[in-house]
């Protein structure tokens, strides 16, 4: 994470934990996807994660898989992804992340993908299926383009592998908070909280859990454990699917959810916890 990046600036804002709101690029179509992304930013999300739909989304649960299918059917592709990022960037200065799969990056050419992402206005790239052992060329290309490469850790990550991940990542560490694919979960696993605390002991990078986070009580639990942000995806993507034909209602439902998740008491509790530590 470079000291001048938008991502670094967001984590220095004092408003912790940050809300990273996730939506699928091109769902349900290009125009409405731009509208929902801008709505999330205007409603108080601290970062946006735009998921590039993929034909074989091994990390995605059924809600995001369905959204990806809608987006692909509506014509989403890599060129249009960067156009979408550019259109969203016109209306917001919050950090924009792209989540994608390694094959999409490789097909475009690794250096070209990151430079195109940077020119469009993206700040970070997350590659869902990129193992740490193969991440070097991607991270090098990201840094050359001025992009933060965001890497995953999980409760099953070995200490040796964690060290390699921490040596490569910038921006923040994406903590896989629930094993398996994306999707809403009922609660927070104790092993995830233990992993969060352990990772924070080994790095100054922010640590941000994602997968399965959908409710204020989840965020309170992570805030108390020291999370610097949380990523909420399926709960937002489900709204897009439910209201796909009613854009005004879609935006209102998304706005209400973001406002609920970014309520002042959540951030107040985190600041109080930091003061006591």
* Helix, coil or strand: residue 101: coil
At residue 54, the pLDDT reads 84
pLDDT score for 94: 97
The yes-or-no verdict on residue 8 having pLDDT over 70 is yes
> What is the rounded distance in angstroms from the CA atom of residue 210 to the CA atom of residue 45?
15
Answer with the residue of higher pLDDT: 54 or 156: 156
- Locate 126 and state its tokens: 């997350």
Does pLDDT of 2 surpass 70?
Answer: no
Rounded to the nearest 10°, the torsion over CA 231, 249, 185, 188 is 50
| 10 vs 276, residue with greater confidence | 10
Structural contact between residues 84 and 50, judged by C-beta atoms closer than 8 angstroms: yes
pLDDT surpassing 90 at residue 88: yes
- Residue pair 229/172 in contact (Cβ under 8 Å)? The answer is yes
Average pLDDT over residues 180-194: 69
Where are the domains positioned within the chain? 6-276
Residue 179: pLDDT above 60?
no
- Looking at domain 6-276, its CATH superfamily turns out to be Aldolase class I (3.20.20.70)
Return d(Cα 104, Cα 79) in angstroms, integer. Answer: 11
- When pLDDT is cut at 50, 70 and 90, the band that residue 57 belongs to is low
d(CA 9, CA 7): 5
pLDDT, tens digit (0-9, with 9 covering 90-100), for 135-153: 999 999 999 999 999 999 9
The catalytic site residues sit at 49, 60
Calpha distance 105→100 (Å, rounded): 8
pLDDT, tens digit (0-9, with 9 covering 90-100), for 109-138? 999 999 999 999 999 999 999 999 999 999
């Amino acid at each position: 994470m470079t000291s001048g990046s938008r991502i670094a600036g967001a984590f220095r804002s004092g408003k912790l934990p940050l809300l990273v709101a996730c939506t699928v690029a091109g769902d349900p179509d290009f125009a409405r996807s731009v509208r929902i992304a801008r709505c999330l930013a205007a409603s108080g999300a601290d970062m946006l994660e735009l998921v590039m739909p993929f034909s074989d989304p091994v990390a995605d649960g059924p809600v995001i898989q369905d959204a990806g299918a809608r987006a692909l059917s509506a014509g989403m592709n890599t060129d249009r992804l960067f156009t979408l990022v550019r259109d969203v960037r016109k209306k917001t200065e919050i950090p924009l992340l792209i989540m994608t799969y390694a094959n999409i990056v490789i097909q475009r050419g690794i250096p070209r993908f990151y430079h195109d992402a940077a020119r469009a206005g993206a700040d970070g790239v997350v590659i869902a299926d990129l193992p740490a052992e193969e991440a070097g060329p991607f991270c090098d290309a990201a840094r050359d383009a001025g992009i933060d490469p965001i890497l995953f850790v999980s409760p099953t990550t070995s200490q040796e592998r964690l060290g390699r991940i921490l040596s490569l990542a910038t921006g923040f560490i994406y903590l896989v908070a629930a094993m398996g694919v994306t999707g809403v979960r009922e609660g927070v696993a104790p092993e995830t909280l233990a992993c969060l605390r352990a990772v924070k002991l080994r790095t100054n990078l922010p640590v941000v859990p994602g997968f399965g986070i959908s409710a204020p009580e989840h965020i309170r639990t992570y805030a108390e454990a020291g999370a610097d942000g949380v990523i909420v995806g399926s709960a937002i993507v489900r709204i897009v699917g439910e209201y796909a034909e009613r854009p005004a209602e879609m935006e209102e439902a998304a706005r209400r959810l973001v406002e609920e998740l970014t309520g002042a008491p959540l951030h107040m509790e985190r600041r109080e916890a930091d003061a006591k530590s």
